[in-house]
Amino acid sequence: MRTIFKPVLAVALFLQFFGCQPKKEGSIKKIDKQTVMAEVVGKDVQLLDVRTPAEFTAGHIDGAVNFNIKDKETFLKQISALEKDEPVYLYCKKGGRSNSAAQLLRKEGFQNILDYSGGYDDWTRD
């Protein structure tokens, strides 16, 4: 009995510490216009405009790609092409849709999500 107990205990301890690690949940950070200007403008980053295509066509931050959060199925396909370990910057009109997109990105395993909560309205304000 004793000869079986030690190996079973060793395996149980190993699994406890190494085999059952919880999935690391990504972080969502709210950012402002100054942060976008410093970290995004003119840089090669993952910048998502989550508004509708019509809103995007009417105007967007340079370098942004349009991933419409209102079309969830297409949105999920589009984000699958992104690098999960690289920062992802998000914005919408005022911050509501980008917050929803940020939650979805975190659920899909993205680690560093930056939500421009002022949105495009703030961006175009002087």
* CATH architecture label of 23-124: 3-Layer(aba) Sandwich (3.40)
Q: Cβ–Cβ contacts within 10 Å for residue 68, how many?
A: 20
User: Domain segments of the chain: what residues?
Assistant: 23-124
3-state helix, strand and coil shares in percent for the chain, rounded to the nearest 5? 45, 15, 40
Of the candidates 60, 46, 121, the one whose C-alpha atom is nearest the C-alpha of residue 90 is 46
d(CA 46, CA 43): 9
One pLDDT digit (tens) per residue for the chain, 126 residues: 556 656 655 555 555 655 555 556 789 999 999 999 999 999 999 999 999 999 999 999 999 999 999 999 999 999 999 999 999 999 999 999 999 999 999 999 999 999 999 999 999 997
